Amino acid sequence: MIDLAALGALRAVATEGSVVGAAQVLGYTPSAVSQQVKRLERQAGVALLERVGRGVILTGAGQHLVESGARLLADVEQVQAGLHRHTGTVAGHLRLVAFSTAVRGLVAEAVAGLLADHPDLRITLTEQEPWDTVEMVATGRCDVGLVHSWGDVPLVVPDHVTRHSVATDEGEVVLPRTHPLAGRAVLTPRELAEEPWIATPEGTICREWLHRMYVGTGRPPRIAHVSLEFDSHLALVRHGLGIALVPRMGRAPLGPELVAVRVQDPVPVRDVVAMHRTSMATSPAVAAVVERLAQLGGRAQAPGVSGS
The domains found in the chain, sorted by start residue, are 4-85 (1.10.10.10), 92-168+270-300 (3.40.190.10), 169-269 (3.40.190.10)
pLDDT of residue 151: 83
- pLDDT over 50 (residue 306): no
Q: pLDDT tens digit string along 114-167?
A: 999 999 999 999 999 998 999 889 888 889 999 999 888 878 899 999 999 999
Q: Span 245-266, mean pLDDT?
A: 96
67 pLDDT tier (thresholds 50, 70, 90): confident
Mean pLDDT of the residues in the chain:
87
DSSP one-letter code for 302: S
For 185: left if phi > 0, alpha if psi spans -120 to 50, otherwise beta; the answer is: alpha
Give pTM, 2 decimals.
0.73
Q: Bigger pLDDT: 269 or 80?
A: 269
The strand ranges marked E within the chain are: 49-52, 55-58, 92-98, 121-127, 144-150, 161-176, 186-187, 196-199, 222-226, 243-247, 258-263, 269-277
Q: Span 255-273, mean pLDDT?
A: 95
Q: Span 63-89, mean pLDDT?
A: 67
- pLDDT over 50 (residue 28): yes
Single out the residue of 103, 144, 161 nearest to residue 277, CA to CA. Answer: 161
CB atoms within 10 A of CB 122: 13
CB atoms within 10 A of CB 2: 13
For the CA atoms of 97, 109, 174, 151, what is the dihedral angle to 10 degrees?
Answer: 50
Q: Span 205-232, mean pLDDT?
A: 93
CB atoms within 10 A of CB 29: 13
